[in-house]
Structure 1
C-alpha cells in the first residue's frame, strides 16, 4: 500500500489508487488512515478530524453558506475484481462505482479548492454497505453533529454524473395470517393460514402505484411482496403465515403516511412494521441547489429511485442530492466499472459550482 495518495493528481488515477486499497465494510482502517494522512499532508488549509474509521475535513473561511460533500469509504466484499484495471476509457474494479470514483472527486477538490465561494465540509465515512446501525454517519451525527451542518449536502454516490435529487422512503411490513392446525387427511377440520394470505397477494397484484412529480423530478412508488413463510410439515394444515412486503414511497409521504397507506391496502389483516426509513424531498428550490443545477449546464435533475444517505442530511433540515460517477445498476456486481469520462465530468461540474 502506498504511503500517501496524490490528491491533486488525475482523479482517474486517484480512483484506481483508492480501489487498490481493500476496504470491505468493517475493515476500512487502512484506507481511512491513508485518507487522513494524505489530507493532513496535502491540504493544510483544512481542519481534519477522525471519528472511528471516518475522516472529516473542512474549511473555516467565514463564507455565508456551507456545502457538505459526503462519500463512504467501504465496499461490498471483493468478488475477484481487484486490483483495478483500465481498459481504454473504462476503469474496472471493486468500488469503482460504489463509490471510490466519488471519493476521488471529493479528495481532489479537498486538496485543490483552496479558495471556494462556499465553506466546504468533506465527510469520508465507514460502514455504509451494512446495517444502518453501523453507518458511520450515524456516529458522526452523535459525536460531531456540527460537522454535518450546511446549506446543501452532495452525496457523491453513483448517479451517471447526473443530479439525482432527494430519495424515496422505504418501509417493510409483515402481513400475518393465523389458522388452525389439522391433519391434511382431515383438512376441513383446520383453517389454512397460507390460503388466507391469498387475498393479500391479490391486492398486491392489482395495486396501482403512484407516480409523483416534485420540483420537476418524478418518483415512482412501488409495493412488492418479497418473502412468504409458512408451513409446519408435509401433512399438517398450517396455522401461521407471514408475507413480507416492501414499499418504496415518494418523499411527499412521511413514514406515518406510508404506514397508514399500507394499513389501508391490507385492511383486515394483521400488519406489523419491521423496518422504515424516511425519504428526502429534492429541495431544488433552495438557492445553493439551483446554483449546482446551473453548474451542470442546466441538465435536468431526476428523482432518486431508491434510498441513500441524502435522507440523513434531509432529516437535519438541509436539501441534499446524489451526484457522482458510475452507473448505480453496476454497484455490487463483479463487473463493476466506471467510464473515466464520468469521473472527470463530476470533478469539472463540482469545481465550477464550488469555485
Structure 2
C-alpha cells in the first residue's frame, strides 16, 4: 500500500460556517454527520469552474475530523489516506438552481421518508459526500475532482500528477444497490465551412448547406455502423449536435457555418475509429478534434466489485451490475492507471442534470454503509 504525500501542495484547514439553517427541514431529518455534509454541499453552488467554495467547505470537514487536506494546482481536493482504495467523485455540477429543501416522501420515486432536493444531490454531490464520510471512517484515500461536467481537467491533472492507487471507486449515481461496470467513451468535433457570399437566387450550395449535408451523412453513417442495435444503447455510437451557427460574415464577403458535435464511443469502437468514420463523411469544410475519453468496461470479478457486492447485501440489497451510456472520469483512471476501477453512488441517474434532481436520504445512508463495508474489505 502507498500513501501519497503533498510536499508541494498548500494545506487547507478551514471550511465555511454551517449552512443547515438555510435548508428547510421540518422533520429534522438532517440528523447525521453524513446527511449534514450532504445538505451543506448541495447548498453551495458549484458549477464547473466555480467549485472553490465547495472545495473549502469539504476541506473544513476533513480538518474537523483530523484528516490532512490540500488543494492541488487544478483545484482538486485531496485527503491522503490508505491507497488500497481511492474514493473519488466530482465536486462540480451542471448549472441550474433547484431550491434546496427536505420533503417527506416522494410518490414519483415510490419512496417514503425524507428526500433532499437540490442541484447536485444526485450528480454527484450525493456520492461525493458519502465518500467523504467513509474516507474519514475507514482511512481510505479521497480526492474530490473539478471540471468533470466540462473537460475532466481535474481527473486529467490527477492521473498526470498522482501515483496510481491499488483500486478506485469512482462516485457517480448508480443507485445504492447497483455497481456501474462500464461507460461509453466520448470524442468531440468542430466542423467549419466558408463559401463566397452570393445572391440568394443562385443555385450553388453555401457553407450552411455544406454543414447540414455533412451532418446528414454523419447520421446515416452512424446508423449504418450501429446496424440493428437499439439507438442510444450501450453498444452503439451516438452522434449529437451541441451547437450550430451560420450566416454572412461581418464584412459580408462570405457565408460561414460552424457546428459542434459529440460522439459517444461504445466498447466495440475506439475514439480513433469514430474519428475515421466521421471524417469519411467530409466533402466540404474542415474538422478539428478535441480531447477524447476511451470507453471502459470493468470485470465483475475480483476483490473490488466483490467488496461492493458484500456491502450491498449487508445493507439489505441484492446487487446488480450496470453498463451506462454516458461517460465518466472512471474511464480515464482505468486507461491511465491500469488498476481495477468501478463506479458507485446513491441516486437515480435519470435525475442527472434534471430540474427535479433529488435524493432519498435513506438511499444516501445505505450507500455510506455499502462503501464502509467495501473499504473495510479492501484495506488490509
**TM-score, normalising length from structure 1?**
0.77
* Distance (Å, rounded) in 2 between the aligned partners of 1:354 and 1:342: 18
Q: 1:173-218 deviations in whole A, cap 9, x for unaligned?
A: 2445554542234x14x443434445434434544253899xxx94
* Distance (Å, rounded) in 2 between the aligned partners of 1:74 and 1:310: 16
* Residue among 324, 330, 335 paired with 2:351: 330
- Is 1:81 matched with 2:99? yes
* Residue among 177, 190, 200 paired with 1:184: 200
* Distance (Å, rounded) in 2 between the aligned partners of 1:16 and 1:211: 45
Cα RMSD of the aligned pairs, angstroms, is 3.5
- Is 1:14 matched with 2:32? no
Q: Tell me the SS of whatever aligns to 1:37.
A: helix
* Distance (Å, rounded) in 1 between the aligned partners of 2:244 and 2:92: 32
Q: List aligned pairs for 1:309-320, cutoff 5 A.
A: 309-316=329-336, 317-320=338-341
* Distance (Å, rounded) in 2 between the aligned partners of 1:4 and 1:180: 58
Q: Tell me the SS of whatever aligns to 1:97.
A: coil
Question: Which residue does 2:27 correspond to in 1?
Answer: none
Question: How many residues are paired up?
Answer: 328
Conserved 8 A contact 2:71-2:78: yes
* Distance (Å, rounded) in 2 between the aligned partners of 1:178 and 1:41: 58
Q: Tell me the SS of whatever aligns to 1:159.
A: coil
Question: Which residue does 1:220 correspond to in 2?
Answer: 236
Deviation at 1:248, TM superposition (A): 0.9
Q: 1:136-162 deviations in whole A, cap 9, x for unaligned?
A: 3344444x412xx12322121222332
Conserved 8 A contact 1:211-1:221: no
Deviation at 1:166, TM superposition (A): 3.2
**TM-score, normalising length from structure 2?**
0.73
Q: Tell me the SS of whatever aligns to 1:164.
A: strand
Question: Which residue does 1:117 correspond to in 2?
Answer: none
Structure 1 residues 113 and 93, CA gap change in structure 2 (3 angstroms): same
Question: Which residue does 2:11 correspond to in 1?
Answer: none
Conserved 8 A contact 1:181-1:191: no
Q: Tell me the SS of whatever aligns to 2:88.
A: strand
Q: Tell me the SS of whatever aligns to 1:15.
A: helix
* Distance (Å, rounded) in 2 between the aligned partners of 1:154 and 1:319: 9
* Distance (Å, rounded) in 2 between the aligned partners of 1:211 and 1:313: 31
Deviation at 1:94, TM superposition (A): 2.5
Structure 1 residues 204 and 155, CA gap change in structure 2 (3 angstroms): same
Q: 1:103-129 deviations in whole A, cap 9, x for unaligned?
A: 221122122225xxxxx3111233434
Q: Tell me the SS of whatever aligns to 1:182.
A: coil
* Distance (Å, rounded) in 2 between the aligned partners of 1:71 and 1:276: 21
Q: Tell me the SS of whatever aligns to 1:122.
A: strand
Runs of 5+ unmatched residues, structure 1: 115-119
* Distance (Å, rounded) in 1 between the aligned partners of 2:91 and 2:199: 55
Structure 1 residues 261 and 293, CA gap change in structure 2 (3 angstroms): farther
Q: List aligned pairs for 1:1-355, cutoff 5 A.
A: 1-2=16-17, 9=32, 11-42=34-65, 44=66, 48-51=69-72, 53-60=75-82, 66-77=84-95, 79-82=97-100, 84-88=101-105, 89=113, 90-113=115-138, 120-132=140-152, 135-142=153-160, 144-146=161-163, 149-161=164-176, 162-177=178-193, 179-185=195-201, 187-188=202-203, 190-197=204-211, 199-206=213-220, 207-208=222-223, 210=226, 218-232=234-248, 239-264=255-280, 266=281, 268-284=283-299, 287-292=302-307, 294-295=309-310, 296-297=312-313, 299-316=319-336, 317-355=338-376
